[in-house]
Amino acid sequence: MKENIVLDLTELPAHGLGTASPSWWGTLAFMLIEGTGFALSIVIYLYLMSLAPRWPLGAPPPDLFAGTALTALLLASVVPNILVARWAREQDLQKVRLGLIVMAVLGIVPLVLRVFEFPAMHIKWDQNAYGSIVWVMLGLHTTHILTDGIETLVLACLMFSRHGDTPRRFGDVSDNAMYWNFVVATWLPMYACLYWIPRL
């Protein structure tokens, strides 16, 4: 049987960055699924509010300090995150290593602030429907901060190992940076719901 070579792909790189990477598309699909979960929690929050005679139920509006400090920190973290993504595309190992250390710290500090957010809501998760949805929303977002923080720490360790200086790892760093931007962006409408809608 005679073989016909239609196209020789042996010169193509083994891994690509951005849309050339299957893991980029996987991360995007994951963000779409998780974004749907965030959107559903906001819709449930607004639905419960529409049924309530007053909002919030059985509690004063939450204290602003912890949630606002966390929001400011998340927004500030976008700047070094964009730099890490740029350095990953340039495959600058030293800058990526430094950037991942900074982003690992910026992934831990919001978790500390989140500890103060739960009591700032002035309601327990099992007190009523308002308490339940507030804790679900905070818990859902906390899970995503924790997930990305762990991934950032793992990537930082990999970039300091002998496996770090490969195109595949730079692609992983770029995908991780994209996911952190998603974590920040999804928090903004949740912050508005949790902290400002009860004050309307």
Q: What pLDDT is stored for residue 116 in this prediction?
A: 96
The domain ranges of the chain are: 21-199
**Residues 6 or more apart in contact with residue 50 via CB below 8 angstroms:** none
- Least Cα distance to 78 among 96, 94, 102, 95 occurs for 102
Residue 7's pLDDT is 78
Please tell me the distance from the alpha carbon of residue 9 to that of residue 22, in angstroms, as a whole number. Answer: 17
Confidence at residue 28, expressed as pLDDT on a 0 to 100 scale: 94
Residue 165: its pLDDT value, please? 78
pLDDT greater than 70 at residue 46: yes
Residue 115 neighbours by CB under 8 Å, 6+ apart:
none
Could you tell me which of 179, 154, 186 has the C-alpha nearest to residue 169? 154
Residue 136 pLDDT grade (very low, low, confident, very high; cuts 50, 70, 90): very high
> Mind listing the pLDDT tens digit for each residue in 100-134?
999 999 999 999 999 999 999 999 999 999 999 99
- Residue whose token pair is 């690509």: 16
- Rounded Cα–Cα distance for residues 131 and 121 (Å): 8
pLDDT (0 to 100) of residue 105: 96
Mean pLDDT across 4-20? 73
CATH 1.20.120.80 correct for 21-199: yes
Q: What angle do CA 108, 69, 30 make, to 5 degrees?
A: 55
Q: List b or e across 42-71, with b for residues whose CB sees 16 or more CB atoms inside 10 angstroms.
A: beebeebbeeeeebbbebebbeeebbeebb
Say what the pTM is.
0.89
d(CA 137, CA 105): 23
> CB within 8 A of 44, min separation 6: which ones?
133, 136
Q: Is 178 helix (H, G, I), strand (E, B) or coil?
A: helix
Average pLDDT over residues 25-31: 93
| Poorest-pLDDT segment among 72-81, 100-109, 162-171 | 162-171
**What is the per-residue pLDDT for 137?**
97
What's the whole-number mean pLDDT along residues 167-195? 95
At 9 the pLDDT is 65
pLDDT at 187 over 70: yes
pLDDT, residue 86, reads 96
Handedness of CA 126, 128, 134, 137 (dihedral sign): positive
